[in-house]
């Protein structure tokens, strides 16, 4: 199995110019994503977590090349995201596929499942009609549906089944990387675990790299190998899932984890709750963007932006990371 890097992202940024006043007003800069770097190996999952508006979908749009970064670069299976070669561009679009959150909106209601699954093959491969048929039926079986469901329309399926179809469609071109933007958050809790298990099984079988976006740490804990915690467009903590869950160091990660309900009464610890509003990304606080909500904040936090740096076994962007780390979680 190839367990080498499938994707390397270096200092990705996406800034938008926004006009908040009239037409002649000076545009403000909205830093939707402001310097994100990571690597994902074959068969591994990087989960991106953070509250609404922290830049998760923006990152998904850059990685799937729906949008170009303002700066920074991507390399996928050795091909640069800015390649000018048409052949490499086609290859990149096969290598990266996406599964969206909404299983109702993402499938064309007028098309039968078979046609939905075969569409990427028609556009990107030279397979014959009967080969495409067979590939679609095989994929249906792989995602836990039946080959007979090939002729049905999306409305005949439940939310969980539709998400299986969306996953099947994403896998038709045998991608190396799947970007899943909140893939289970629209599903009933009872079917979420099944969808996650399916994703895990398919990952093992096809050695897929996943960029898994979620605001739900319970889900992330289940599926990820590595974790990237974002706040207002910037990474605040990044490392192995086991290390971060065992001992979150950044005050924001601690606060996020403090809002996971504790299942076991005996395990209950004193936890810091996340309070206060998310600041406007058009007018972020000075210094550390989290300082107005942070219980560990001091003078330096209001004036100096903390750099992402190595703290123990992970990266964290906090002036007081060592002090926080010394406090048991
Ligand atoms: N095309 C755009 N033009 C201007 N601003 C944008 C654009 N796309 C996103 N933004 C802004 O960038 C920030 C990040 O948005 P993004 O959709 O990436 O957040 P998110 O983490 O996916 O949030 P959610 O959890 O709600 O899906 C937000 O402040 C959003 O308003
Ligand atoms: S830098 Fe300061 S305000 Fe920001 S997270 Fe660390 S302690 Fe809190
Ligand atoms: Mg989003």
pLDDT for 190: 85
Distance (Å, whole) CA 96 – CA 13: 19
pLDDT for 272: 59
pTM of this prediction exceeds 0.85: yes
Distance (Å, whole) CA 230 – CA 234: 5
Taking residue 115's Cβ as centre, other Cβ atoms within 10 Å add up to 16
Strand order in the sheet with 96-99: 96-99, 177-181, 209-213, 45-49, 226-231, 234-240, 314-316, 309-311
Indicate if ligand 2 lies below 6 Å from the C-beta of 74.
no
Structure confidence by residue, pLDDT tens digits, 242-255: 999 999 999 999 99
pLDDT for 267: 44
Residue 206 shares a structural domain with residue 295: no
Confidence of residue 260 (pLDDT cuts 50, 70, 90): low
Distance (Å, whole) CA 12 – CA 31: 11
Q: Is the pLDDT of residue 20 over 70?
A: yes
Best CA proximity match to 67, nearest among 14, 120, 27: 14
The domain that holds 179 is classified in CATH as 3.40.50.300
Distance (Å, whole) CA 251 – CA 297: 9
pLDDT over 90 for what percent of the chain? 81
Structure confidence by residue, pLDDT tens digits, 227-240: 999 999 999 999 99
Domain boundary among 224, 249, 272: 224
Structure confidence by residue, pLDDT tens digits, 272-327: 568 888 999 999 999 999 999 999 999 999 999 999 999 999 999 999 999 999 99
| Ligand 1 atom 2 nearest Cα | 16
Structure confidence by residue, pLDDT tens digits, 141-169: 999 999 889 999 999 999 999 999 999 99
pLDDT for 259: 66
Beta bridge partners of 316: 237, 309
Residue 65 shares a structural domain with residue 95: yes
Range of the domain at 256: 241-329
| Beta carbons of 198 and 143 less than 8 angstroms apart | yes
Domain assignment present for residue 284? The answer is yes
Residue 167 shares a structural domain with residue 295: no
* Structural domains counted in the chain: 2
For residue 68, what are the contacts with CB-CB under 8 A and spacing of at least 6? 62
Indicate if ligand 2 lies below 6 Å from the C-beta of 296.
yes
Domain boundary among 199, 224, 249: 224
Identify which of 232, 235, 251, 293 to mutate to test ligand 2's pocket (most ligand atoms within 8 A of the CB): 251
Residue 249 shares a structural domain with residue 210: no
| Beta carbons of 47 and 178 less than 8 angstroms apart | no
pLDDT for 263: 43
Structure confidence by residue, pLDDT tens digits, 46-85: 999 999 999 999 999 999 999 999 999 999 999 999 999 9
Domain assignment present for residue 230? The answer is no
Using the mean position of ligand 3's atoms as its centre, give its distance from the Cα of residue 166 in Å.
18
Dihedral over Cα of 213, 46, 80, 12: its sign: positive
Q: Which residues line ligand 1 (CB under 6 A)?
A: 16, 18, 30, 32, 52-58, 215, 281
pLDDT for 8: 98
pLDDT for 19: 84
pLDDT for 50: 95
Residue 49 shares a structural domain with residue 77: yes
- For residue 43, the SS3 value is coil
| Beta carbons of 136 and 114 less than 8 angstroms apart | yes
**What is the average pLDDT value for the chain, to the nearest integer?**
92
Look-up: residue for tokens 């550390």?
288
Indicate if ligand 2 lies below 6 Å from the C-beta of 254.
no
Residue 194 shares a structural domain with residue 272: no
Per-residue tokens: 218: 């319970």
Q: Is the pLDDT of residue 218 over 50?
A: yes
Q: Is the pLDDT of residue 208 over 70?
A: yes
Residue 301 shares a structural domain with residue 269: yes
Structure confidence by residue, pLDDT tens digits, 88-107: 999 999 999 999 988 778 89
pLDDT for 262: 46
Q: Is the pLDDT of residue 117 over 50?
A: yes
Residue 250 shares a structural domain with residue 205: no
Residue 194 shares a structural domain with residue 250: no
Distance (Å, whole) CA 14 – CA 67: 9
Q: Is the pLDDT of residue 1 over 80?
A: no
Residue 199 shares a structural domain with residue 170: yes
Residue 248 shares a structural domain with residue 194: no
Confidence of residue 265 (pLDDT cuts 50, 70, 90): very low
Residue 1 shares a structural domain with residue 62: yes
Q: Is the pLDDT of residue 129 over 70?
A: yes
């Amino acid at each position: 199995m190839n367990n080498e890097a499938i994707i390397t992202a270096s200092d990705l940024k996406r800034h938008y110019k926004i006009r908040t006043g009239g037409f002649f007003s000076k545009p403000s800069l909205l830093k939707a994503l402001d310097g994100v770097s990571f690597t994902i190996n074959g068969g591994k999952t990087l989960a991106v977590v953070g509250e609404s508006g922290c830049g998760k979908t923006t990152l998904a749009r850059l990685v799937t090349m729906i949008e170009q970064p303002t700066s920074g670069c991507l390399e996928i299976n050795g091909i640069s995201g800015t390649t000018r070669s048409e052949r490499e561009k086609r290859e990149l679009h096969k290598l990266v596929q996406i599964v969206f959150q909404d299983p109702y909106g993402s499938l064309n209601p007028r098309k039968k499942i078979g046609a939905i699954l075969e569409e990427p093959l028609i556009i990107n491969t030279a397979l014959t009609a009967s080969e495409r048929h067979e590939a679609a039926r095989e994929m249906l079986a792989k995602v836990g549906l039946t080959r007979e469901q090939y002729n049905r329309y999306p409305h005949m399926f439940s939310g969980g089944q539709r998400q299986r179809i969306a996953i099947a469609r994403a896998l038709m071109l045998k991608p190396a990387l799947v970007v899943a933007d909140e893939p289970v958050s629209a599903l009933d809790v009872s079917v979420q675990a099944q969808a996650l298990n399916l994703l895990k099984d398919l990952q093992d079988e096809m050695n897929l790299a996943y960029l898994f976006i979620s605001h739900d740490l319970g889900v992330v804990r289940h599926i990820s190998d590595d974790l990237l915690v974002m706040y207002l467009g910037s990474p605040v903590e990044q490392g192995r899932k086991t290390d971060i869950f065992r001992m979150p160091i950044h005050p924001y990660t601690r606060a996020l984890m403090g809002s996971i309900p504790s299942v076991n009464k005996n395990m209950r610890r004193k936890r810091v709750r996340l309070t206060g509003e998310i600041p406007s990304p058009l007018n972020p606080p000075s210094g550390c963007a989290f300082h107005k909500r942070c219980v560990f904040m001091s003078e330096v936090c209001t004036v100096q932006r903390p750099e992402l740096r190595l703290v123990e076994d992970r990266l964290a962007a906090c002036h007081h990371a060592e002090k926080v780390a010394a406090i048991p979680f």
